[in-house]
């Protein structure tokens, strides 16, 4: 089901002559690193009742809870980890003459079009982990807070090019509100 | 006192700090008064038991001295804050300097105006003062807030700001286009003039003196108190109250104790507050239209006059809560970029374009927002949007197969297109029709979760500026959604290119969202140099 849905909207929604650009595959490493750190910490925290029980501090914890809690948490993280590569692959963008298209999500898909003339400003942010991999995030702001157009995991050069390009397009097509 | 119009600096009315700080003054007066009263009473009480009276001239003198000192300090603070607050109006900007220790200088471009409000809180009304708020698109905070001016001055300043923002008569915006349209409009509606101290210069007379006419306006509708009271009593607050009573009764019956009646108190306070807000902000509601946009007046104790220039309304919705179905009333709300999406009663009041109106009144108001509905039979289409179901009026609805995930609303959910706007219909119990003019579309998103995918449906969301209207097409067929998504992007672009409401008077005609090449003061290619197709 997933393999099919991942490509489904792109076929129907693509106008002719439009090519979707994918974000850098290195972003997967960034996400996986963050995911691994988070998973280890959370699973460790979930193991706490088990440890306390085995050293005899908490005797009231039943078996199923002591083992079940870390198991459930670990399973949830494993599931997220399995999804991550496809989530990262699902993020893509396309520049058209008049607007900018953005897509993300596998289960909860979102396709967004932001006209250049509607952009108020463009943010480029770099986190420490992203910097280590030479990546950056670009965010487009319109007058509507619902726009929420974030494009993570762009190579730094591509991010800078996109920022310049978007600002330039935005200026030539500026239409107020 | 006159208003500054040639770039000179001016101050707000000297009484302003008192009117703004009256709560502080009242609090001080209360504390001091109570102390004094208790002391005197206390001494009287002591007189009976203990001989000798310690209350003599010195004590009184000291008390009076402290009081005078506090008042003097307050007066000093008030004076400084007044002295350091200055404003200036130039051809293109309005500037405000304020602050004593931390200075603040703010400047707002006149052509960025989204709305101008004149607010009169109760106390200011008693003094004949008014506050002027100049809103730009920053969602909530007023760019320029001048509190307080004389009412006449505030109105003249508003006329001046609107006149300069509209580009009428100013050489910068319109080039050499003579402002003939403005004069025509003026003579058309000469009977409905509402000009404080106008000197007959004419609305587009080229030079702006601080007494020039406000744009003449035509009344569109007004609500009688009876309507406002009935609408308040039938509003959602009543449903909330009924729900609260039902819950409390259920708890009482279940526990067979009367303790839960204590829960009723907050519910009652909440509903009373809700009723009061609703009533006081809808009272004496009047709407009119002028060359400078829509003008709304309302308020019971605090009164407010709002002016929203043409093209500043980003989206409009017509809603009906279940109880209003008994009376056939509707509410019209708007998104205006300067008003924001706050949940305060203030913001909610400002975004009401019609608190409670009949279908005919709704159409009268919609005609102001959408002067060109973009369809041959607007009444049919909009009525279908407001009350209808299924495909009437050209609506495309949730497919029948998806009725399991929208059991009540699937025949309501849908959209319809006209040449100028997208109509979005939803809600079976709380009926909602959202209308977004094509040129006001910000960005568009398609969203689909696993459940919607299972039924082959997609949501399409038009992002609008913060406000009560959230245009959201729910659960329409995948194919329809994608077609709409792509086509709407193109339609929005084309409409934006034709939009000339930025300087709404500069080209001389009434604001029209439709194509008007002969009215355009500048060639299209000037704004879109790379789009000379």
Helices and strands (H and E) in chain A: how many: 6, 7
pLDDT digits (tens, 9 = 90+) for A28-68: 999 999 999 999 999 999 998 888 888 888 888 888 888 89
Q: What span, in angstroms and rounded, lies between the C-alpha atoms of B348 and B339? A: 9
Q: Scanning the structure block, which residue is given the tokens 């973009």?
A: B374
Q: What is the mean pLDDT of chain A?
A: 85
B441 contact residues in A (CB cutoff 8 A): 115, 118
DSSP string, B458-511: EEEEEE-SSSS---EEEEEEHHHHHHHHHHHHHHHHHHHHH---TTTTTTSSPP
C-beta atoms of B445 and A142 within 8 A: no
Name the pTM for this structure.
Answer: 0.80
- Closest-CA distance, A149 to chain B, in angstroms, reads 9
pLDDT digits (tens, 9 = 90+) for B398-417: 999 999 999 999 999 999 99
- Which positions in chain A have a beta carbon within 8 angstroms of at least one beta carbon in chain B? 5, 9, 12-13, 15, 98-99, 107-115, 117-118, 142-147, 149, 172-173, 175-177
CB atoms within 10 A of CB B465: 27
- Closest-CA distance, A142 to chain B, in angstroms, reads 7
Q: What is the mean pLDDT of chain B?
A: 80
Task: Please report the pLDDT score of residue B129 as a whole number.
Answer: 92
Q: What is the mean pLDDT of residues B188-209?
A: 38
Structure tokens at B431: 């009926």
Q: Using CA coordinates, name the residue in chain A closest to B442.
A: A118
B361 neighbors B354 (Cβ within 8 angstroms): yes
Return the closest-CA partner of residue B469 out of B500, B411, B426.
B426
Q: Of the ranges B139-148, B273-282, B284-293, B479-488, which one carries the lowest mean pLDDT score?
A: B139-148
Return the closest-CA partner of residue A5 out of B106, B524, B444, B478.
B478
Q: Of the ranges B52-61, B112-121, B195-204, B463-472, which one carries the lowest mean pLDDT score?
A: B195-204
Task: Please report the pLDDT score of residue B64 as a whole number.
Answer: 84
Q: Of the ranges B14-18, B95-99, B315-319, which one carries the lowest mean pLDDT score?
A: B14-18
B496 CB near a chain A CB, below 8 Å? yes
pLDDT band (50, 70, 90) for residue B260:
low
Task: Please report the pLDDT score of residue B498 as a whole number.
Answer: 84
Instruction: Provide the greatest CA pair distance for chain B.
Output: 103
B504 contact residues in A (CB cutoff 8 A): none
pLDDT at B350 over 60: yes
Q: Of the ranges B258-272, B358-372, B378-392, B518-532, which one carries the lowest mean pLDDT score?
A: B518-532
Q: How many CB pairs under 8 A join A and B?
A: 99
Most confident by average pLDDT, B56-60, B264-268, B300-304 = B300-304
pLDDT at B200 over 50: no
Q: What span, in angstroms and rounded, lies between the C-alpha atoms of B329 and A44? A: 59
A122 neighbors A139 (Cβ within 8 angstroms): yes
Task: Please report the pLDDT score of residue A15 as a whole number.
Answer: 56
A98 contact residues in B (CB cutoff 8 A): 489, 493
- Closest-CA distance, B22 to chain A, in angstroms, reads 37
Phi/psi-derived region of residue B241, left when phi > 0, alpha when psi is between -120 and 50, beta in every other case = alpha
pLDDT band (50, 70, 90) for residue A25:
very high
Task: Please report the pLDDT score of residue B174 as a whole number.
Answer: 34
């Amino acid at each position: 089901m997933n393999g099919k849905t991942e490509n489904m909207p792109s076929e129907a929604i693509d106008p002719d002559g439009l090519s979707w650009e994918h974000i850098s595959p290195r972003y997967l490493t960034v996400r996986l690193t963050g995911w691994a750190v988070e998973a280890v910490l959370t699973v460790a925290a979930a193991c706490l009742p088990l440890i306390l029980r085995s050293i005899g501090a908490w005797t009231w914890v039943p078996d199923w809870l002591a083992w079940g809690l870390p198991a459930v948490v670990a399973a949830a993280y494993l599931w997220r980890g399995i999804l991550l590569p496809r989530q990262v692959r699902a993020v893509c963008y396309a520049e058209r003459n008049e607007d900018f298209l953005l897509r993300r999500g596998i289960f909860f898909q979102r396709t967004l079009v932001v006209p250049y003339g509607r952009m108020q400003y463009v943010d480029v942010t770099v986190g420490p982990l992203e910097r280590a991999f030479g990546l950056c995030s670009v965010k487009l702001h319109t007058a509507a807070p619902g726009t929420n157009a974030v494009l993570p995991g762009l190579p730094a050069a591509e991010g800078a090019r996109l920022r310049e390009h978007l600002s330039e397009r935005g200026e030539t097509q500026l239409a107020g509100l | 006192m006159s208003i500054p119009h040639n770039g000179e600096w001016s101050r707000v009315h000297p009484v302003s700090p008192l009117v703004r700080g009256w709560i502080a003054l009242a609090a001080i007066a209360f504390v001091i008064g109570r102390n004094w009263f208790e002391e005197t009473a206390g001494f009287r009480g002591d007189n009976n038991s203990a001989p000798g009276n310690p209350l003599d001239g010195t004590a009184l003198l000291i008390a009076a001295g402290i009081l005078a000192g506090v008042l003097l300090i307050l007066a000093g603070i008030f004076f400084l804050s007044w002295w350091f607050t200055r404003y200036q109006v130039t051809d293109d900007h309005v500037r405000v300097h304020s602050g004593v220790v931390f200075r603040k200088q703010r400047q707002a471009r006149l052509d960025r105006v989204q709305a101008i409000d004149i607010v009169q809180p109760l106390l200011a009304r008693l003094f004949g003062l008014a506050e002027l708020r100049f809103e730009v698109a920053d969602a909530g905070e007023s760019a320029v807030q001048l509190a307080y001016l004389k009412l006449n001055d505030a109105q003249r300043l508003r006329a001046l700001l609107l006149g300069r923002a509209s580009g009428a008569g100013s050489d910068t915006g319109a080039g050499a286009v003579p402002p003939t349209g403005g004069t025509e409009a003026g003579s058309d509606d000469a009977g409905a003039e509402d000009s404080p101290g106008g000197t007959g210069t004419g609305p587009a007379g080229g030079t702006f003196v601080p007494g020039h006419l406000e744009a003449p306006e035509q009344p569109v509708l007004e609500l009688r108190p009876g309507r406002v009271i009935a609408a308040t009593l039938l509003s959602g607050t009543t449903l909330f109250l009924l729900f609260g009573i039902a819950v409390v009764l259920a708890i009482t019956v279940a526990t067979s104790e009367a303790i839960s009646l204590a829960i009723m108190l907050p519910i009652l306070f909440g509903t009373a507050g809700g009723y009061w807000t609703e009533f006081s902000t809808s009272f004496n509601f009047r709407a009119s239209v002028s060359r400078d946009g829509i003008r709304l007046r309302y308020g019971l104790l605090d009164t407010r006059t709002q002016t929203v220039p043409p093209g500043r309304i980003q989206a409009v919705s017509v809603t009906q809560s279940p109880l209003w179905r008994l009376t056939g009333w509707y509410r019209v709300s708007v998104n205006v970029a300067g008003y924001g999406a706050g949940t305060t009663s203030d913001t909610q009041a400002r975004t009401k374009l019609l608190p409670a109106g009949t279908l005919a009144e709704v159409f009268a108001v919609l005609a102001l927002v959408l002067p060109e509905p973009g369809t041959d039979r607007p009444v049919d289409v909009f009525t279908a949007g407001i009350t209808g179901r299924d495909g009437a009026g050209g609506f495309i609805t949730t497919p029948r197969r998806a009725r399991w995930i929208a059991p009540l609303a699937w025949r309501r959910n849908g959209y319809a297109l006209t040449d100028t706007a997208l109509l979005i219909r939803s809600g079976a119990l709380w009926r909602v029709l959202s209308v977004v003019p094509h040129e006001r579309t910000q960005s568009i998103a398609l969203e689909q979760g696993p459940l919607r995918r299972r039924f082959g449906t997609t949501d399409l969301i038009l992002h609008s500026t913060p406000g009560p209207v959230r245009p959201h097409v729910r659960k329409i067929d995948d194919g329809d959604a994608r077609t709409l998504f792509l086509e709407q992007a193109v339609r929005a672009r084309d409409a934006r290119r034709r939009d000339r409401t930025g300087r709404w008077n500069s080209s001389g005609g009434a604001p029209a969202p439709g194509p008007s090449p002969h009215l355009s003061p500048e060639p299209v290619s000037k704004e879109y140099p790379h789009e000379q197709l």
